Amino acid sequence: MTTQQKKSAQRHGFKTGEFIVYPAHGVGQIVTIEDQEVAGHKLELFVIDFQKDKMRLKVPVAKATSIGMRKLSETDYVDRALKVVQGRARVKRTMWSRRAQEYDAKINSGDLISISEVVRDLYRADNQPEQSYSERQLYEAALDRMAREIAAVNRMSETEAVRLIEVNLNKGPRRGKADNEETEKEEAA
């Protein structure tokens, strides 16, 4: 197996040094593009570092877009995602295991709007009942993914991005027992 690195290169619209979003792992940075021989075939690979997870991933250049790797969102798309978290939580009346699967699929879709819907739906204000462990895990995973992308787009720290998301969450409709009763009345009608 031989490896040849290409320092600064561009393939399929992606270039070294650029931050990208990989659906299953979130925001990463392309550190290099390299040629590698695997089983007699020459492969061109993006080498992507996910700093926070201390992980390095090699993605075949030819498959990058088909597996959902994409550039960071534009600022107007980030603004749309922040508007989504201001909305009223939409929680389906299905079993938690089914909803958890749907939330997990949205988080791993890599789509910022889908991730922001999970953040909105699983957010709990201080005056609301405690979340279950699995709800909290999914909420934190979605919040982390959303914050990492917003931080990269807006060139801010992840802590600042989380604060920005929380400010927008708190702009939403009053969240509490009275709000849930209204939602139930609307759905019954």
Report CA torsion sign: 113, 110, 135, 78. negative
pLDDT, mean of residues 9-17: 80
Q: Could you tell me if 51 and 96 lie in one domain? A: no
The mean-pLDDT minimum among 142-146, 156-160, 170-174 falls in: 170-174
Cα–Cα dist 114/103, whole Å: 9
DSSP 74: P
182: left (phi over 0), alpha (psi -120 to 50) or beta: alpha
Domain check: are 97 and 26 in the same one? Answer: no
**Containing structural domain, residue 58:** 3-71
Tokens of 179: 């709000």
Class of residue 15 by CB neighbours under 10 A (exposed 0-12, middle 13-18, buried 19+): middle
Query: CATH number of the domain that 146 lies in?
Result: 1.20.58.1290
The domain boundary, picked from 23, 50, 71, lies at: 71
Looking at the structure, tell me whether residues 86 and 61 fall in a common domain. Answer: no
Q: Which has the closest alpha carbon to 71: 140, 144, 152? A: 152
Question: Based on the domain organization, do 65 and 127 belong to the same domain?
Answer: no
CB-CB contact of 118 with 139 (8 Å) = yes
Confidence grade of residue 10 (pLDDT, cut at 50, 70, 90): low
The predicted-structure confidence for 62-115, as pLDDT tens digits, reads as follows 999 899 999 999 999 999 999 999 999 998 899 999 999 999 999 999 999 999
Q: CATH number of the domain that 29 lies in? A: 2.40.10.170
